[in-house]
Amino acid sequence: MLERLNQVMGHIEGHLDQSIDVAGLARTAATSEYHLRRMFSALAGMPLSEYIRRRRLTVAGADVLAGDESLLEIAVRYGYGSGEAFARAFRVMHGVGPGEARRTGAALVAQPRLTFRLTVEGNSSMRYRVVDRPDFTVVGFKTRVPLVHSGPNQAIIDFVRGLDREALERLEKLADQEPQGIVAVCDDLDPSRAEGTELDYYQGVITTAAAPDGTTTLTVPSGAWAVFTVSGPAPEAIQTLWRDVFTQWFPSNPYRGRPGPEILRTRLSADGSEADAELWLPVEREPA
């Protein structure tokens, strides 16, 4: 998978002055567009669209400083419909407009070209299973929150703190399918997975029971799920699990992500310092 990702990086680099079709990139990677976007975001720490934008503005910055072409010619070559749109994007990345950068020879920001490598440490093993599930239903309390790439998501923290404890206890008694108990469910993420885009967040249960008043129902279609388990310090063990799934498990196994909710069941120790967690991700086998 990493070799194919690097082929995608090469294609991007050779087409920065052309329209780049993400579906075409997915074909180069021999995977789905959904999985390509998810893998890239997890490995690179930014959405694929953001990387392409930053690489274009890096190369455009060199052209601006070279002074051989007009700013409008540069803007059009890198896909901007007007000099004003180019100037706005240029300033967001470089902190200075293209005209001022050319006049003063200002220092600009560079987005390096990315190359992916797999580092094999051999000091840990990952516990997982792949299960096929029929349709199931999530019932719980729902909100819309921004996506946060690193650190705590304050919107989720505030939402969970604001939930009625007794209502959650009653809801937990309805759980009658795996994963058991109260789970956190993320759904309807923006395909770009850009920081600040929004997603649906549920505190709920997997159940066949009717939804109580005040709760929301999410119907999840049948399919395969990769289920990962981890135990260790909280929250470090869970954060490390997320990282390892995308940097180690997906590149080493014949599966790719598919659209669907991401489910996390967490059980904390009495003092909150240790966690047992189970992460469910929707997957499908890569085509042979």
Confidence bin at 26 (pLDDT 50/70/90): very high
Residue appearing with tokens 């976007």: 37
Q: pLDDT tens for residues 39-73?
A: 898 888 889 999 999 999 999 999 999 999 999 99
Q: Report DSSP state, residue 235.
A: T
Q: How many helices (H) and strands (E) does the chain have?
A: 11, 9
Task: For residues 141 and 137, give the distance between their C-alpha atoms in angstroms, rounded to a whole number.
Answer: 13
Q: Which two tokens stand for residue 108?
A: 């600009």
Mean pLDDT for the stretch of residues 178-185: 95
Task: Report if pTM > 0.85.
Answer: no
Burial 277-286 (b: 16+ CB within 10 A, else e): bbbbbbbbee
pLDDT, the chain, mean: 91
Give yes or no on whether 2-104 and 127-285 have one common fold.
no
| H-helix or E-strand spanning residue 42 | helix 33-44
Topology, domain 127-285: Multidrug-efflux Transporter 1 Regulator Bmrr; Chain A (3.20.80)
- Which pLDDT score is estimated for 122? 45
Helix 83-94, helix 48-66: angle, nearest 10: 100
- Evaluate if residue 98 carries a pLDDT over 80: yes
- Evaluate if residue 10 carries a pLDDT over 90: yes
* Extents of the domains making up the chain: 2-104, 127-285
- Evaluate if residue 123 carries a pLDDT over 50: no
Instruction: Specify whether the CB–CB gap between 282 and 257 falls below 8 A.
Output: yes
- Which pLDDT score is estimated for 28? 92
Instruction: Specify whether the CB–CB gap between 71 and 60 falls below 8 A.
Output: no
Topology, domain 2-104: Arc Repressor Mutant, subunit A (1.10.10)
Instruction: Specify whether the CB–CB gap between 52 and 20 falls below 8 A.
Output: yes
